[in-house]
């Protein structure tokens, strides 16, 4: 049997981490999880075991614990790390900026210290299209100017800069920076999916909770944007496609290719109302909505030019908005309370 490279997933029990775990197992890797469960549920581990048919290796703990991470890297002879662990709620980051700077920047610095000591020299980082701020035009290419409009976005931007400084200082370090657009959807088994704490901030989980009857109606934040139907346009990407982008990123780096920063989107924009209608189709449930004022900090239109990822990683998204809604609905209807029982 050939040796399976071990991949450490920080935040591996979270929404994107858990889907990437499955994709890595399917691609012949041996992923292990480090998670403090501050924004995820241990139930994920049972679900991953059911999907993959094998025991899940998981260490409960913080990525900020340098000694712990170093010992994991050494003990498991980790070939590469995927760094998902981080807080991601924009509004909360405005209210509690230090929470975001401490966790997201502190976590990145500690991880790099542990990787330096181990040593482990290959890292894939979860960045975000938020680093483009209010883009001057669409579609967005990777050479666009970066900016930020909130502390969460600032932490993603600074993490990218920290990686650039580290690459500059250490030629052996190779990094893959993935700028996610809007991840949605769930594993087709319906066993894992997005489980936001409290009221969802993002569109798709909110729509799903309206369809399942947990919430009365959706607030559509603005219908007077300069877009075809007046509502905001985003590049929604199926989490399974996103998970496969991580596999492609790791394969590329472990083949010895140079570091890269790429957009991970479909290249196709969809409006809020298109999402609502697609979800009604997929669920065969009504999604009532009311038009509300614009949300502070929102942009009219944001979608990727995903050409570079296709060129460098040989990856592109294949799943449609209908697939995203169907899989979200399967997860939501089978788990109306997420991973919580009852
Ligand atoms: C948001 C964050 C972004 C972050 C991303 C993570 C903001 C301003 N941006 O992106 O920094 O990286 O989540 O996934 O929060 N909408 C409604 N009603 C709702 C929720 C959303 O109409 O209840 C609309 C929004 O106005 C927007 C679209 O749906 O046009 C998508 O919103 P959302 O899912 O929150 O994603 P982003 O704003 O793109």
pTM of the model: 0.98
The minimum-distance atom of ligand 1 relative to the CA of 152 is 11
206 lines ligand 1 (CB under 6 A): yes
201 lines ligand 1 (CB under 6 A): yes
Q: Whose CA is nearest to atom 30 of ligand 1?
A: 232
Mutate-to-test residue for ligand 1 from 90, 179, 185, 264, highest number of ligand atoms within 8 A of CB: 90
Question: How many whole angstroms separate alpha carbon 268 and alpha carbon 119?
Answer: 40
Ligand 1 mean position to 305 CA, how many Å? 19
List domains and CATH numbers for the chain. Answer: 6-334 (3.40.50.720)
295 lines ligand 1 (CB under 6 A): yes
Burial letters for 324-341: b for 16+ Cβ neighbours within 10 Å, e otherwise? bbbbbbbbbeebeebbee
202 lines ligand 1 (CB under 6 A): yes
Mean per-residue pLDDT pooled into runs of 10, the chain (342 residues): 90 98 98 98 98 98 98 98 97 97 98 98 98 96 97 98 98 98 98 95 97 97 98 98 99 98 98 98 98 95 98 98 98 95 60
What DSSP state is assigned to residue 219? E
Among residues 122, 33, 110, which one has the least CA distance to residue 79? Answer: 122
227 lines ligand 1 (CB under 6 A): no
pLDDT score, position 1: 54
* CB 322, CB 278: distance < 8 Å: yes
The minimum-distance atom of ligand 1 relative to the CA of 275 is 29
The minimum-distance atom of ligand 1 relative to the CA of 182 is 14
pLDDT in tens, 164-222: 999 999 999 999 999 999 999 999 999 999 999 889 999 999 999 999 999 999 999 99
Q: Where would I find the H helices in the chain?
A: 15-26, 43-52, 66-75, 90-95, 97-100, 106-117, 151-169, 203-211, 239-254, 272-283, 307-313, 321-334
- Clarify whether 339 is annotated catalytic: no
Selecting among 15, 21, 132, 152, the annotated active-site residue is 152
pLDDT score, position 265: 98
pLDDT score, position 208: 97
153 lines ligand 1 (CB under 6 A): yes
Distance of CA 210 to the CA centre of its chain: 23
* CB 23, CB 12: distance < 8 Å: no
């Amino acid at each position: 049997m050939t040796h399976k490279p071990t991949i450490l997933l920080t935040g591996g029990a979270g929404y994107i981490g858990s889907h990437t775990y499955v994709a890595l197992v399917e691609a012949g890797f041996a992923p292990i999880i480090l998670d403090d469960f501050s924004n995820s549920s241990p139930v994920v581990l049972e679900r991953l075991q059911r999907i993959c048919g094998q025991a899940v290796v998981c260490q409960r703990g913080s990525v900020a614990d340098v000694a712990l991470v170093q010992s994991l890297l050494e003990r498991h002879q980790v070939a590469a790390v995927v760094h998902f662990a981080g807080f991601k709620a924009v509004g909360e980051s405005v209210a509690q900026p230090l929470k975001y700077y401490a966790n997201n920047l502190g976590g990145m610095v500690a991880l790099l210290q542990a990787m330096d000591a181990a040593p482990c020299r290959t890292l894939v980082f979860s960045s975000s299209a938020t680093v483009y701020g209010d883009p001057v035009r669409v579609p967005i290419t990777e050479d666009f100017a970066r900016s930020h409009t909130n502390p969460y976005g600032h932490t993603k931007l600074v993490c990218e800069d920290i990686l650039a400084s580290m690459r500059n200082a250490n030629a052996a370090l190779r990094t893959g920076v993935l700028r996610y657009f809007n991840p949605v959807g769930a594993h087709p088994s319906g066993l894992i999916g997005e489980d936001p704490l409290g009221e969802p901030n993002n569109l798709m989980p909110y729509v799903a909770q309206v369809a399942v009857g947990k919430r009365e109606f959706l607030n559509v934040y603005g219908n007077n944007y300069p877009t075809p139907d007046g509502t905001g346009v985003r590049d929604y990407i199926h989490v399974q496609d996103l998970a496969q982008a991580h596999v492609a990123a790791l394969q590329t780096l472990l083949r010895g290719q140079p570091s890269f920063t790429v957009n991970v989107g479909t290249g196709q924009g969809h409006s809020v109302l298109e999402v609502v209608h697609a979800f009604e189709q997929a669920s065969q449930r009504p999604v009532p909505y009311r038009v509300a004022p614009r949300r502070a900090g929102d942009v009219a239109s944001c979608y990727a030019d995903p050409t570079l990822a296709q060129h460098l990683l040989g990856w592109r998204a294949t799943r449609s908005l209908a697939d995203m809604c169907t899989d979200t609905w399967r997860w939501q209807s089978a788990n109306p309370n997420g991973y919580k029982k009852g």
